[in-house]
Amino acid sequence: MTATTVPATAPIRVDLGLYPEVQKFGAADISACFSCGTCSATCPMSQTDGTFPRRIIRFAQLGMKEQLLSSKELWACYQCGECAETCPTKADPSEFMAATRRYAIASYDRTRLARTMYTRPAVASVLAVLIALFFAAFMYTAHGPMPGEELAIFTFIPEGLIHTMGIVVMVVVLLAGLAGVATMARDIGRKEGVSVRGALGSRRGLARTGRALWTAVGRESLGQVRFREECEADAVAMAVPWYRRRWLVHALVVWGFVGLLAATGLDYGLALIGVKETGTPVPLWYPVRLLGTLAGASLVYGASVLIIDRYRKANRSVTGSTTADWLLLALLWVTAVTGFTIELALYLPSAPVWGYWLFLVHVAVAMELVLLAPFMKLAHAVYRPVALFFVALAAEPKEASR
């Protein structure tokens, strides 16, 4: 790898190893791209910026690493695959964008674990099994009896141990995740000329920031508005049933995951303030339980459809799959299905022994899923809203200069 400087208004560092590096993350061969712009004309997300995704491809071809990593537009792509269909040279810009996001996640991660997860599939798979086994074995060493009258899961695995492990995992995730997000936000902020003072230092700045946050988190991430409105025209044209639409399946996974995290947190909070001990049987309509049940069903359905669609290559967005894609789906699916099955088993007239073992598997895999979140595709759940915040901020009317 060599570094040199090309003449420009401001010095631009050129990394000639960038393109081969991005290719290690699964990028299709985009050397055939001659920047014709057809993909930009096709892309439903490119309405306000006629150079997207073509510009990202050029950054990689020219070795402009800093420009690539500080591109907020990289995360505006929903991998609908329309650009891949229309590209005259079959350069597959859609897959290239996905690979570049993997590369970005690995670049923001200082531990290099994300890089291993993406570029060394065999090591990643072994690591995933070992982490799950570690969590399961660790909890099993402290296990109690398996009462037969009713499924007393916290008698088998003490809830205090699960809470302590959960807190340790969350601390690791927050430290690793926040470091990556801070790096990304700093890089994009510098490129966009957004400073903390400008964003928060005046009433107008605060109002713009608030609106951009709402757009990025409320409308785009939780509401999936652009995904639904702009990436689904094809689905309507091809008469894909509403319950198989990409935006809905993706949204169900998002809502399910967020709902389960919220239900777990609320359950813990209720125990802390003495309202309800964790694990106390409550009727289905009890708000926290109802939230957990609906979120679990949502995640089971969403993850199952994602797996089936990816296996069948059911749409343009899943024509190419990496081990990391499968690993994430497997962790999501096992977490969701084991959790939902335990939820049902809790109300059986007598406690099935398999319920206890399933609980052990559920907690081990759920811990692993959260622990690996900053190092896998799941990290996009945070990186994308941050980038979309800058996209929304750029679309806000500028403050009048005085």
The binding track of 315-334 with respect to ligand SF4, each residue x by CB under 6 A or -, is: --------------------
In the bound complex, what is the minimum distance in angstroms from residue 2's beta carbon to ligand SF4?
25
Neighbours of 175 (CB within 10 A): 11
Q: Between residues 22 and 39, which has the closer beta carbon with respect to ligand SF4?
A: 39
Quick check: bond before 53 cis, omega within 30? Answer: yes
Q: Residue 277: left if φ>0, alpha if ψ -120 to 50, beta else—which one?
A: beta
- Under the criterion CB under 6 A, does residue 37 sit at the interface with ligand SF4? yes
Of positions 70, 71, 79, 215, contacts ligand SF4 by CB under 6 A: 79
In whole angstroms, give the CA distance from residue 105 to residue 374.
8
Of positions 74, 83, 248, 369, contacts ligand SF4 by CB under 6 A: 83
Do 358 and 45 contact (CB within 8 A), yes or no? no
In the bound complex, what is the minimum distance in angstroms from residue 43's beta carbon to ligand SF4?
3
Choose the binding region for ligand SF4 from 90-98, 161-169, 209-217, 318-326 (rule: CB under 6 A).
90-98
Angle at 372 between CA 220 and CA 253, to 5 degrees: 35
Choose the binding region for ligand SF4 from 73-81, 124-132, 150-158, 356-364 (rule: CB under 6 A).
73-81
In the bound complex, what is the minimum distance in angstroms from residue 231's beta carbon to ligand SF4?
6
- Under the criterion CB under 6 A, does residue 77 sit at the interface with ligand SF4? yes
Do 147 and 109 contact (CB within 8 A), yes or no? no
Of positions 18, 27, 64, 80, contacts ligand SF4 by CB under 6 A: 80
Of positions 24, 29, 62, 89, contacts ligand SF4 by CB under 6 A: 89
Q: Which two tokens stand for residue 75?
A: 């995360």
Q: Between residues 334 and 391, which has the closer beta carbon with respect to ligand SF4?
A: 391
Q: Between residues 260 and 388, which has the closer beta carbon with respect to ligand SF4?
A: 388
Q: Between residues 78 and 356, which has the closer beta carbon with respect to ligand SF4?
A: 78
- Under the criterion CB under 6 A, does residue 135 sit at the interface with ligand SF4? no
Strands (E), 21-147: none
- Under the criterion CB under 6 A, does residue 81 sit at the interface with ligand SF4? yes
3-state class of 15 per DSSP?
strand
Choose the binding region for ligand SF4 from 75-83, 138-146, 156-164, 305-313 (rule: CB under 6 A).
75-83
Looking at the DSSP bridge assignments, the partners of residue 301 are: none
Choose the binding region for ligand SF4 from 33-41, 108-116, 250-258, 261-269 (rule: CB under 6 A).
33-41
Burial class (CB in 10 A: 0-12, 13-18, 19+), 61: middle
**DSSP H helical ranges for 109-245:** 113-119, 121-140, 153-156, 159-192, 196-200, 203-213, 225-230, 233-237
Q: Between residues 96 and 356, which has the closer beta carbon with respect to ligand SF4?
A: 96
Choose the binding region for ligand SF4 from 81-89, 178-186, 365-373, 375-383 (rule: CB under 6 A).
81-89
In whole angstroms, give the CA distance from residue 10 to residue 320.
38
In whole angstroms, give the CA distance from residue 63 to residue 92.
19
Helix or strand run (H / E) with residue 3: strand 3-6
In whole angstroms, give the CA distance from residue 263 to residue 241.
30
Binding site for ligand SF4 (CB under 6 A): 33-39, 42-43, 45, 53-54, 57, 77-83, 87-89, 91, 93-94, 97
